Amino acid sequence: MRVLGVDPGLTRCGLGVVDGGAGRSVRCVDVGVVRTTATLPLERRLLEMGAEVARWIAAHRPAGVALERVLSPHNVRTVMGTAQASGVVALLAARAGLPVAFHTPSEVKAAVTGEGRADKAQVTTMVTKLLGLTEAPRPADAADALALAICHCWRAPMLDRMAQAKSRSDELARAHRARLAAAARLAR
């Protein structure tokens, strides 16, 4: 499964494409960062970032997009920019017919390092090792994008099985409620 991982941001938006294979094997296809100038109007920055993400989607043809779930109660201004960038990426993925999965930073850190509170250096080190890269991806946004893609490659099969189990459970519950309702009608 090929996944485009996106660490959304207005100044730097990390992009990483990973192929997930049998078991937990992963391979880096491409990695980069989209940069926009802080002096540009917001709409121009989003347009530039979106154009590059669209180019990556067309060039790499991923099966899905993994985005970092925006969480930060401290800096509302940063969160707004990140959320806006994330929305543009989700829109572009939807236009391309791709599913989008949102992963929290702690989910990503736990997936690649085994520790949900790992720091950026630990994430970068593990991404470098897991992908067999000769040098660490820079800046950290690039490593974070690859970490998101790896996380999704490893979590997607489990999430799919859980969704299938929930669907089957819901179906069984509906059938059971229907049988109970029919029995109640007969008892009258």
Q: Which residues are catalytic?
A: 7, 68, 141
155 Cα distance to chain centroid: 10
Q: Is 158 helix (H, G, I), strand (E, B) or coil?
A: helix
Pick the closest to residue 3 from 161, 164, 147 (CA basis).
Answer: 147
Pick the closest to residue 89 from 28, 135, 34, 144 (CA basis).
Answer: 34
Q: Are strands 26-35 and 12-20 parallel, antiparallel or unpaired?
A: antiparallel
